[in-house]
Amino acid sequence: MHSCRKVQSSIRKESEMTYRTLVQLSLATSLFAGVSLAMAPVGDIQGRAQVSTQKNPIGPKVIYPLSPHAVQNLIHMREEEKMARDVYFVLGMQWNAGVFNITNAEQVHMDAMKNMLDRFGLTDPIVDDTVGVFPTPAFAELYLFLLDLGADSVVDAYKVGALIEELDLVDLRIAVLHVQDPVLLNAYEELMRGTRNHLRAFAAKIYAAGETYEAQYLTQEEFDAIANSDNEPGGN
């Protein structure tokens, strides 16, 4: 719990998160806060992204510069998508539930973020793609915690999925605030569509089991509006 309090304190110091107050309802929320986009220092990445007019296989050859926060956010999203993929892979093996085929879509999301890292000439934080291995200790802790949360029942596993998709959507909303590059913006928007579709899938499973879900990161109204709306085309 002491480490969770330290994480919460660091988050409160970051102006990025002032637009959205995270409701501290449970240990799960505290741990999720521990890997939010607001947690990491950005001084060590100042100036790493530059305007480039070189040929690039991904999108227009004019590449808009990224701010330090935008760089950190992109690196963070690459690792967060791996966390989602790995959790879904293990829970899918444990519960043999078809909804966890979302693992494949999370791999697509991971690959999209890798393409964006390559676009800006940034180093990929994922040097070991083994399931459950993360360069950031907070992600490793969160991964294990989420597996524990989803271990008791398949409905608990569905709720873990909904939590992950909430976190992903909130972090993507933050990430787009710091980006001008149209190719990266498009990549983030595509991920948001997919994330909303994944949230719908998990919500449907929760409701079909006769359970309810209390939103942790979105408002309840936002969560319900997404969950009760139709899937969006182009969002995997």
pLDDT of residue 88: 96
pLDDT of residue 141: 93
Ramachandran angles phi, psi of 181, nearest 5°: -60, 120
> In the chain, which stretches have pLDDT less than 70?
1-61, 235-236
- Write the pLDDT tens digit of every residue in 48-100: 333 333 444 455 567 899 999 999 999 999 999 999 999 999 999 999 999 99
Query: In the chain, which ranges are continuous DSSP H helix?
Result: 2-12, 27-33, 68-95, 102-119, 137-149, 154-176, 182-208, 220-227
Residue with tokens 């935008």: 70
CA distance 183 to 114: 13
> Which domains does the chain show, CATH number per domain?
2-227 (1.20.1260.10)
pLDDT of residue 62: 76
